[in-house]
Amino acid sequence: MAFITIKRKTIIAVLSVILALIAAVTTAATVIASAKPTNGITIVIDAGHGGADGGVTGITTGTKESDINLSISKYLAKYLQNDGYNVVLTRSDSSAVCSGLKYSKRGDMSARKKTLSEAKPDLVISVHCNSYPVSSVKGAQTFYASAAGERYAKVVQNYFNDVLNDRARQAAVGDYYILNCSEYPSILCECGFLSNAQDESKLITASYQQKIAYTIYSAVSSVLTDDAQS
């Protein structure tokens, strides 16, 4: 009996070591698989509004623009990260970008500018939803404020027209703070009109938010890939 007891203890000890080794190998493999190397290109994704500033609201559901912007931005970040891009989000939750108990639009904008200054990105993508007094107006549109952002805006707009819009829109010059506060190539994507019931019904769904994000990712990636190969 003594021999059998010792043998059992030995077997248990050996099995414990083997299981520990398997666990260690499995953990290492998971870490390696998730540690995707970056391609050296940094993209800042700016989810518009947040905190006390909810932006515009849906004409039917009252859904806040800030929530939709954040969701699209997170999907976009995932697509870009999976493709090796280094991504920085100006905000990753529903809070405002600026710190402190009292919301300040000026402080919020300054905080976004600071994020850009620290990240030194190759591209800035600001995500928003639009609104207009005439409820029939709909569709996604891109804006830019400099020659550096114009090329990206026009390519993204072409993708929007091909994938999302039922009629062609044009990329346009826009006088937005996020486009003017840095020297980095910047675009602002208005992903649809929450003042239009048809746009709103799509914008509030996860599937359409993913579709928008993938469309922006595909367009931006095509420009960056062309630049890398030239």
pLDDT in tens, 189-217: 999 999 999 999 999 999 999 999 999 99
**What is the Cα Rg of the chain in Å?**
23
In whole angstroms, give the CA distance from residue 188 to residue 126: 5
Residue 94, C-beta contacts closer than 8 angstroms, at least 6 positions apart: 50, 51, 66, 67, 70
Among 2.60.40.10, 3.40.630.40, 3.20.170.30, 3.30.390.30, name the CATH number for the domain at 39-229. Answer: 3.40.630.40
pLDDT at 36: 61
User: Nearest 5°: phi and psi at 43?
Assistant: -125, 125
pLDDT at 99: 73
The per-residue pLDDT for range 58-109, each reduced to its tens digit, is: 999 999 999 999 999 999 999 999 999 999 999 999 999 987 768 889 999 9
Average pLDDT, the chain: 86
Beta strand 186-193 pairing with 141-144 = antiparallel
Domain range list for the chain: 1-35, 39-229
Output the six-digit token pair for 81: 């990260």
Laid out side by side, the sheet with 86-89 consists of: 86-89, 42-47, 123-130, 186-193, 141-144, 172-173
CA angle 113, 39, 29 (to 5 degrees): 115
In whole angstroms, give the CA distance from residue 201 to residue 196: 9
215 near 165, Cβ under 8 Å?
no
